[in-house]
Amino acid sequence: MKFSWRVLVLWTLPALVIGFFFWQGAFSSSPADLTKNTASTRMTYGRFLEYLDAEQISTVDFYEGGRTAIVQTKDPELDNRLQRVRVDLPINAPELIEKLEEKGVNFAAHPMRNDGAIWGLLGNLIFPILLITGLFFLFRRSSNMPGGPGQAMNFGKSKARFQMEAKTGVKFDDVAGIEEAKEELQEVVTFLKQPERFTAVGARIPKGVLLVGPPGTGKTLLAKAIAGEAGVPFFSISGSEFVEMFVGVGASRVRDLFKKAKDNAPCIIFIDEIDAVGRQRGAGIGGGNDEREQTLNQLLTEMDGFEGNSGIIIIAATNRPDVLDAALLRPGRFDRQVTVDAPDIKGRLEVLRVHARNKKIDESVSLETIARRTPGFTGADLANLLNEAAILTARRRKEAITLLEIDDAVDRVVAGMEGTPLVDSKSKRLIAYHEIGHALVGTLLKDHDPVQKVTLIPRGQAQGLTWFTPSEESGLITRSQLKARITGALGGRAAEDVIFGRDEITTGAGNDLQQVTGMARQMVTRFGMSDLGPLSLESQSGEVFLGRDWMTRSEYSESIAARIDSQVRTIVDECYKSALDIMRNHRSLMDRVVDLLIEKETIDGDEFRQIVSEYAEVPDKPQFAPSL
């Protein structure tokens, strides 16, 4: 059982209180009281005078200043045996001493002792000392707990983790797939180690470097690599740790952080998720609060204010640069913005090699094939992919990761957990026609991405899936490619319409129709690919920043809006008619492939293209990724 000081103190305090009262009771009487209690009986003062007159008193001892006496007497009723009795004397009895001398009785007066007062004083001192000591340990213990009472005095202190020499275990060699960003940040490390190389030509290192990119691309990993390579003091903190419910606390923490950094300069400060504290000021509805704005103002002042902060390099990371305040992004604060984007095929291959170091992978597995199979994957996605493949390998009791585990891991990461296969029924046949409709259109259209595989095994919310692999990675997409993608997405609905009739179409195309509508609208409003001409009618920003974009007025009139809707409908109708024509012209091919798919439940891209080539001419497409 784990020992707890808090429990010990909570049990000890009541015991101390109870013990104090027993202490007081035990020492409230003096030693004189103990002496007089040795007398076996008591005697009244009148009877004492009678015994004194009868000369039956031998000795008298006075205590408590003459208020009590212990008398040794002979009791005639007990054969004149000696006994000691206690007598309470009156306050004023001056004649008693004369009578004792007259009768020849030996008497003695014992002075009062102060032992009881001393013990009482000690008792009164010991209890508060023990109580204060117990409370001290209790509060000291609580101060180490989050939100404990001891934290009340530390609100204004920075919560940044400080390492004199950051031992993160990450070097630049462990970061792959983002070579451009690595090169930018290696200059920072070089300046910290060899500043004379830059100062000799009059160059100065940027005061701040902002890492911008989607989640999972390696921004925090780059910061760890800088910390591991630089060999200088390293402060790391999250932007949310500055903001508290009390106004002024965040600004105080910023001051404290930069004060510590100046004491340890040259050093690096890494602020993760800086958008939590660096959002635009005065954005209106929901734009922020006084605490965040005061914290941001203090941060701006510390980064490039009147005093400056020579020797301190600030590195920050965010995936929402669009909401950051303009004053934060200007040169002199964040001089350089480094984009950390999702890696290309070469970058993904390097990332896979890094994460495959500690994995047992079969010799037949080609990392290049995996890289081609995973377009759009970030570094975190690829790490998770190989980890899922390793878990599946262990679950299946294999000694090494094979292509089958990697293929299943890709499907799991992209689409979700594998479900229970469907039984052979009308529903399974309808889903098979739907998926074959997607695959057939994608295969017969020249500008569509090639089919990677078709499956009826449910994953996530999907009852069946058709996978397409982009043939090449390009940031530019042509109008014919967009229309081919819209036609391919409508292939499932077209197959249902041709095979089962309009009255039997299902809700399975709901997600497809959302994608179709989105692509068609972007063709009209953003890319200028319609009869409206080369006009951009909508903002490029896909996310709304409350307070800045919420009240934004429409950028076009109602008549233009009607024409936009008309153009979107025209594009979708044209593509749907093309999909219907393909379904009607290849009805026998569909029936054969559907029967095969129901039997095997999964058909890979090579086999599907071979079957289609027996019935129709398959257009030549750019080199596609081989099936895993």
**How confident is the model over 309-319, as pLDDT tens digits?**
677 888 899 98
Q: Please tell me which residue, 237 or 74, carries the higher pLDDT value.
A: 237
* Boundaries of domain holding 40: 31-113
In a domain, 323, yes or no: yes
The CATH number of residue 410's host domain is 1.10.8.60
Tokens 């010799």 correspond to 363
Q: Please tell me which residue, 76 or 597, carries the higher pLDDT value.
A: 597
Residue 355 to residues 77, 214, 348, 400, 481, Cα–Cα distance (Å): 109, 20, 11, 15, 34
pLDDT band (50, 70, 90) for residue 121: low
Residue 556 is classified by DSSP as S
Residues 326 and 228 in one domain: yes
Residues 530-555 have a mean pLDDT of 65
Is residue 158 within 8 A of residue 257, CB to CB? The reply is yes
Residues 246-262 have a mean pLDDT of 81
SS3 assignment for 10-67: HHHHHHHHHHHHHHHHHCCCCHHHHHHCCCCEEECHHHHHHHHHCCCEEEEEEEHHHC
**How confident is the model over 131-171, as pLDDT tens digits?**
777 777 666 655 554 444 444 445 456 566 666 666 667 77
The encoded tokens of residue 79 equal 């054969």
Residues 209 and 141 in one domain: no
pLDDT of 182 > 50? The answer is yes
Residues 126 and 257 in one domain: no
Known catalytic residue at 435: yes
pLDDT given at position 627? 44
Does pTM top 0.95 for this prediction? no
How many other CB atoms are found less than 10 A from the CB of residue 569? 12
In a domain, 203, yes or no: yes
Residues 281 and 186 in one domain: yes
H or E element at residue 468? strand 465-468
pLDDT of 203 > 70? The answer is yes
Q: Which residues pair with 550 in a beta bridge?
A: none
pLDDT of 208 > 80? The answer is yes
In a domain, 210, yes or no: yes
In a domain, 156, yes or no: no
**Strands 208-212 and 336-339, sheet pairing:** parallel
Work out the mean pLDDT of the chain and round it to a whole number. Answer: 79
Tokens 């950094």 correspond to 261
pLDDT given at position 8? 53
In a domain, 419, yes or no: no
- When divided into structural domains, the chain yields a total of 5
Is residue 296 within 8 A of residue 277, CB to CB? The reply is yes
Residues 413-425 have a mean pLDDT of 76
The CATH number of residue 479's host domain is 1.20.58.760
Helix (H, G, I), strand (E, B) or coil at 76: helix
In a domain, 581, yes or no: yes
How many other CB atoms are found less than 10 A from the CB of residue 492? 28
The CATH number of residue 87's host domain is 3.30.720.210
pLDDT given at position 30? 46
Residues 105 and 200 in one domain: no
Of 339, 361, 395, the position where a domain reaches its end is 339
Kindly report which listed range (185-199, 238-252, 311-325) carries the lowest average pLDDT score: 238-252
pLDDT band (50, 70, 90) for residue 13: low
pLDDT of 253 > 50? The answer is yes
pLDDT given at position 275? 86
Kindly report which listed range (283-297, 378-392, 420-434) carries the lowest average pLDDT score: 283-297
pLDDT given at position 330? 87
The CATH number of residue 223's host domain is 3.40.50.300
Residues 47-57 have a mean pLDDT of 79
244, 435, 543, 617: which one is catalytic? 435
Q: Starting at the edge strand that comes first in sequence, how are the strands of the sheet with 57-63 ordered?
A: 41-43, 81-88, 68-75, 57-63, 106-109
Residues 448-458 have a mean pLDDT of 88
Residues 237 and 296 in one domain: yes
Is residue 517 within 8 A of residue 554, CB to CB? The reply is no
Residues 358 and 468 in one domain: no
Residues 277 and 372 in one domain: no
Residues 396 and 430 in one domain: no
pLDDT given at position 389? 93
Residues 259 and 316 in one domain: yes
The widest CA-to-CA distance across the chain, in whole angstroms, is 150
Kindly report which listed range (62-71, 144-153, 490-499) carries the lowest average pLDDT score: 144-153
In a domain, 477, yes or no: yes
Helix (H, G, I), strand (E, B) or coil at 247: coil
**567 closest CA partner among 556, 581, 553:** 556
Residues 235 and 311 in one domain: yes
pLDDT of 288 > 90? The answer is no
In a domain, 217, yes or no: yes
Residues 185 and 306 in one domain: yes
Q: Please tell me which residue, 428 or 195, carries the higher pLDDT value.
A: 428
**How confident is the model over 291-345, as pLDDT tens digits?**
778 888 888 888 886 766 677 888 899 988 888 888 888 888 888 888 888 888 8
**How confident is the model over 348-359, as pLDDT tens digits?**
898 899 889 888
**624 closest CA partner among 604, 600, 603, 601:** 604
Cis check for the bond before 470: say yes or no (omega within 30 of 0). no
pLDDT of 20 > 70? The answer is no
C-alpha radius of gyration, the chain, whole number: 45
pLDDT given at position 10? 54
pLDDT of 535 > 50? The answer is yes
What whole-number percentage of the chain has pLDDT above 70? 77
**How confident is the model over 503-526, as pLDDT tens digits?**
889 888 889 999 999 999 999 999
Characterize 271-301 residue by residue with b for buried, 16 or more Cβ atoms within 10 angstroms of its Cβ, and e for exposed: bbbbbbbbbbbebeeebbeebbbbbbbbbbb
- Angle 187-192-198 from CA coordinates, rounded to 5°: 60
**How confident is the model over 604-622, as pLDDT tens digits?**
888 999 999 988 888 876 5
Sequence-ordered list of residues with C-beta below 8 angstroms from that of 301, at least 6 positions apart, any chain: none
How many other CB atoms are found less than 10 A from the CB of residue 456? 22
